Structure 1
Amino acid sequence: MATPHQATPQSAAQAAPSADAVYRKVTQRVIPIILLCYFFGYLDRVNVGFAKLQMMSDLSLTEAAYGVGAGLFFIGYLLLQVPAGYLVKRVGVRACLGGSLIAWGIVSIATLATRNQTTFYALRFLLGLTEASFFPAVIAYFSLWFPSYRLSKVMSLLFLAMPLGVIIGGPLSGWIMDATHGGWGMNGWQWMFLIEGLPAVVLGFVLFAMVVDRIDDAMWLSRDELAIVKSELARESSDKKQALLPALKEPTLWLLCAISFLYNVGNYGLVFWMPTMVKALGHLSNFEIGVVSAIPYLVAAAAMVLNAQHSVKTRERRWHTALPVFIGGAALIGSVAASGAPVAAVACLTVAVAGIMSTLAMFWSLPSRILAGTAAAGGAGLVNIGAAVAGFVGPSIMGVLKQLTGSTTAGVALLAGTLFLAALLILAIPARYIKAAPR
C-alpha cells in the first residue's frame, strides 16, 4: 500500500494530475473549515447589533455609547494586527488559528456578564484582541497553498462567511433573543452570546487537528499533487517581497491600507446599524428584523462569487474591484431617499451590501500580489489596520450622528461618501498589481 506522498507504479504510469484538479482538491480540504470558523468569528463580532435591540435598555446605554462599544472591538483588533504577523511566524499558523478561535469564543460567551457601559467597553475591546491574529493567520495559511491569481476566487468563498453571518446569524440571533428571554433568569441577548460563542471554542480544537504549518505535512496530497502546488507557488514568488520591513517601503501597500479604511467605514457602519435601520422601517419582532436584515446579505453572497468568477473569465480586475463599491455608495444614497418606502429602502440596502461585499473579495486578493513569505501575514495585518480603524470610526460616527439628529440619514450619507472615495483610490492602484490573471 502506497504512503500518501508516494506514487505506485500504476499511478506513475497514469497522466499527471492537472493543476486545476489539484486545486479543486486543495480548496475542498482547506476552505470549508476556515469558512465555518470565519462565519462564527464574524457572527461573534457583529451579533452585538442584534443584542442592541434589548441590551440598550437593560444597560441604560445611549446611542453614542453603543456605537463606541461596537467600535472598540476594532481598537483591540488594531493593536495586534502587525504584531500578529510576527506571531504567526513565531508560533505557526496552526497555533494562531486554533488559539485565536478558542480565546474569542470564551470572551464572546463572557459578554453575557455585561452589567454596565464599562464592562461592555472592556469586553468588546478584549474580543478584538483575541480575534486579531486570526485573519493574518488565514492569509498566511492560504499563501501556503494558493498563488495570487487563484486567490480572488478563494477569498470570495472565504468572505461568504460575512453575508452568511447575517443571512443565518441574523434570524438565528433574533429567534434566540425572542425564544430564550427570561430563561434561567437571563435575558435573550445574554443567551445569544452564550449559544453563539460556544461553537468557536469547539472549532478551535478542530483546527488544531486539521491545519498544517507546512504543505509537506499535508498527508492527503500525493507526491505528484504536492509537486504541482509547489510549482504553482514558485512560479510567482520570485517577484514578491519576502520580508515585511522592505515591503513597508512599497507605496502601494499603504494605498491598499487607505482603501481598506474607506470601504470598511461604509461596511462596518452599515453592518452594525442595519438592525436599527430595519427596525425604523416598521414594527417588527427581533426575529423579523433578523430576516429582513438577511435579505441584502443573501443577494450579496451570490454577487460576491459571480463577480469574482466573471473577473477570472474576462481577465479584468480593476473595474471588478472599483465599480461594485461605487454602486454600493450610490445605493446607500438611494436608501436614504427611499426611507418612506420600506420595500424600496430594503432594495437599495440590498444593492449597497452586494456592492460592498463584491469589492471585499476582489480587494483581498491584491496584497498577495505584492507580498510572500513573512511579509504575507504582516502585510495583511498592516492593510487590515485600515479596516480596524474603520471598524471603530464607522459605528461611532453613526452613533453620534444618530444621537444628534434622531435618524440615521446623515450617517448613511457619510458612509456613501467613503465608498465613493474608496472606488477612486482603487482606480489609482498601479497596473502591475491589478493586471489580469494568467490563463
Structure 2
Amino acid sequence: MQNAIPKQSATQTAAVDEDTWPLYSRIAWRLIPIIFVVQIFGYLDRANVGFAKLQMQHDLSLSNAAYGLGAGIFFVGYFLFEIPSNLLLQRMGAKLLFARILLVWGLATVLMAFVKDETQFYILRFVIGVAEAGFAPGTQLYLSQWFPAKYRGRINSAFLISLPVGLALGGPIAGLVMGNLHNVAGHAGWQWLFIIEGAISVALVPWLLMSLPNKLADASWLATDEKRIVADDVAQLARQADTHDWRATFSPIIVLLTLVYFLTLAGNYGVGFWLPQIIRNSGIESTVSIGFLSSIPYLFTIIAMPYIGKMSDRARDRSHYLVLCALLSCVGLVITALWLKQTAIGLFGMTLVATGVLSSIPVFWALVARRLSGSAAIVGFAFINSIGNLAGFASPYGIGLITDKTGTQVAGLYALAAMSFFAACLLLFFVRERKQ
C-alpha cells in the first residue's frame, strides 16, 4: 500500500502539525461505520444461537453438552481457516475478502433455520466459523494500514464498540422475533431469528462493495499531502515494531499474548453463550424479557469501552489497563456464581464480566500492533486471534458438560474466574509495552 504513495521529505515531515488527529478522525468516520455495521451482524449471526437455544434445544432434543459443542464448534472452523483467510486479504484486498465473508456467513445463518438434528447443527456452525474466519484479524490488519500507533487505542475502541452494541441489540431482537413470530408461516421463532438476521447480512454485501476502499491510494476523498502524512505515520509504526519477520510471530512474547487472549475470551464466550439460560434459571420465563435483560451488561460496556481505549493511549503502557480489565472480569464471574439465582445481582456480575472482557479487546490489539508489522502482522494477527478464539469452543462446551453433570453452571463460572485471574497475573508479571 505504502509504495503507491510518494514519500514525504524530512523537511515536509517536520512542517506537518504534530496534532494530526483531525485528519485521522475524518478517515475514521469514512471507514469505521462500514466495518462497524458488518461486525455487528457478524456477532448477531455468531451469538444468536444462545437465544435460539431457548426454543431450539427442545425442538431438536439437544442436551446441554450437545448445545455447547454446537456453539463451540464454530471456533474450530474459525481456527482452521483464519490464517489462510488473512493471507487472502493481501491478494484480494479488504473489500472483496470482507464481502465474501459476509455473504457466506449470512447464507449459512439462513440455512441454520432448517437444521433437523445434531449433525446438521454441528456442520452449519462449523461452516459459519469457516466463513467468518479472517474478518477480525483482517480488520486489525486493515486498520494498521490507515492509523499510527498513537491513535490505535481509540480507533480500536471506536470500531470494537460494535461488539457490545451487537450483543446489546441481539437480546431484544431475538426476544421480539422469537416471542412474536413463533409458529408464523409454520416456522418456530428460533427459525425466524436465523432467517431474518442471515438475510440482512447478505443484503449488506453490495453496500460494503460500493463503500469500502481497498487501500490508502484508493481514498479519493483524501488530498495527496494527506495521503503522504498517513503513509509516513504508518511506516513509522512499522519501523517501531519488534520485527518484520513472520517467523518471530512465534516468539515467547507473542505466544504469551496469545495465551492471555485465550484466557480473556474464555470468560466472554462462557457467559455470552449461556447468558440467556442463566437469566432463565434465575426465574425469568418470558423470552422477550430474557432478551431485553441480556442487553444490560453490554449497554454499560458501550460507555466504558471508548473511555478505557482513550485512557490507554495516554498511558502508553496498556498492560496495566489489561490487568484491571482481567480482574474486573474475574470478580464479575465470582459474583455471578455466588448469586446465580438472584437476577439483579447476577446481572451485575455479568455486567462486570462484559465490561472487563470487551473493554480489554481494543487495548489488547493496540498493544499487539506495537509488536508486529509487515509479514509478521499478516500472520501474527490471525495467529493470535485464531488460537485465542478457541476459547469459544472450550468454554461453552466445558460449561455444557459441567452443567449436565452438576445441574448448575456454578462450577463452570468459577473455572472461568480462575482463568481471568491467571490472565491478570501473566500480564502483571510478564507483559510490558515499550514506551513510544
Normalised by the shorter chain, which TM-score bucket?
over 0.9
Distance apart, 1:242 and its partner CA: 6.5
Contact 2:246 2:380 in 1 (8 A): no
Aligned-partner Cα distance in 2 for 1:366–1:428: 16
Contact 1:81 1:378 in 2 (8 A): no
Equivalent position of 1:8 in the other structure: none
Distance apart, 1:244 and its partner CA: 5.4
Contact 2:249 2:379 in 1 (8 A): no
Aligned-partner Cα distance in 2 for 1:16–1:243: 27
Aligned-partner Cα distance in 1 for 2:342–2:211: 49
1:371-392 alpha-carbon deviations (Å, 9 max, x no partner): 1223323211100122221110
Aligned-partner Cα distance in 2 for 1:102–1:142: 22
Contact 2:283 2:341 in 1 (8 A): no
Counterpart of 2:391, as a letter, is A
Q: State the secondary structure of the residue aligned to 1:308.
A: helix
1:324-380 alpha-carbon deviations (Å, 9 max, x no partner): 111211121012212343222211221121111111221111221111223323211
Q: Does structure 1 residue 128 correspond to structure 2 residue 105?
A: no
Equivalent position of 2:405 in the other structure: 404
Choose 17-26 or 320-329, whichever is displaced more.
17-26
Equivalent position of 1:274 in the other structure: 275
Equivalent position of 1:425 in the other structure: 426
1:88-118 alpha-carbon deviations (Å, 9 max, x no partner): 1222222111111111111111111111000
Equivalent position of 2:161 in the other structure: 160
Aligned-partner Cα distance in 2 for 1:231–1:329: 41
What is the total number of aligned residue pairs between the two structures? Answer: 424
Aligned-partner Cα distance in 2 for 1:256–1:314: 19
Contact 1:77 1:132 in 2 (8 A): yes
Choose 400-409 or 357-366, whichever is displaced more.
357-366
Q: State the secondary structure of the residue aligned to 1:185.
A: coil
Choose 33-42 or 77-86, whichever is displaced more.
77-86
Counterpart of 2:233, as a letter, is E
TM-score by length of 1: 0.92
Aligned-partner Cα distance in 2 for 1:163–1:352: 12
Equivalent position of 2:89 in the other structure: 88
Counterpart of 2:434, as a letter, is K
Distance apart, 1:263 and its partner CA: 1.0
Choose 272-281 or 319-328, whichever is displaced more.
319-328
Aligned-partner Cα distance in 1 for 2:271–2:330: 11
Aligned-partner Cα distance in 1 for 2:214–2:30: 15
Contact 1:98 1:208 in 2 (8 A): yes
Q: State the secondary structure of the residue aligned to 2:373.
A: coil
Q: State the secondary structure of the residue aligned to 1:186.
A: coil
Contact 1:296 1:354 in 2 (8 A): yes
1:49-89 alpha-carbon deviations (Å, 9 max, x no partner): 00000000000000100000000000000001222222212
Q: State the secondary structure of the residue aligned to 1:265.
A: helix
Aligned-partner Cα distance in 1 for 2:408–2:255: 34
The percent identity for this pair of structures is: 35
Contact 1:44 1:108 in 2 (8 A): yes
Equivalent position of 2:240 in the other structure: 239
Q: Does structure 1 residue 195 correspond to structure 2 residue 181?
A: no
Distance apart, 1:315 and its partner CA: 4.0
Equivalent position of 1:36 in the other structure: 37
Aligned-partner Cα distance in 2 for 1:395–1:249: 27
Aligned-partner Cα distance in 2 for 1:396–1:239: 40
Contact 1:240 1:370 in 2 (8 A): yes
- Alpha-carbon RMSD across the aligned residues, in angstroms, is 1.9
Equivalent position of 1:205 in the other structure: 206
Aligned in 2, Cα 1:251/1:399: closer, same or farther, shift over 3 Å? Answer: same
Aligned-partner Cα distance in 2 for 1:137–1:317: 22
Q: How does 1:247-266 map to 2 (within 5 A)?
A: 247-266=248-267
Contact 1:164 1:298 in 2 (8 A): yes
Counterpart of 1:299, as a letter, is F
Contact 1:73 1:124 in 2 (8 A): yes
Contact 1:102 1:205 in 2 (8 A): no
Aligned-partner Cα distance in 1 for 2:94–2:211: 11
Structure 1 unaligned blocks of 5 or more: 6-14
Aligned-partner Cα distance in 1 for 2:293–2:67: 22
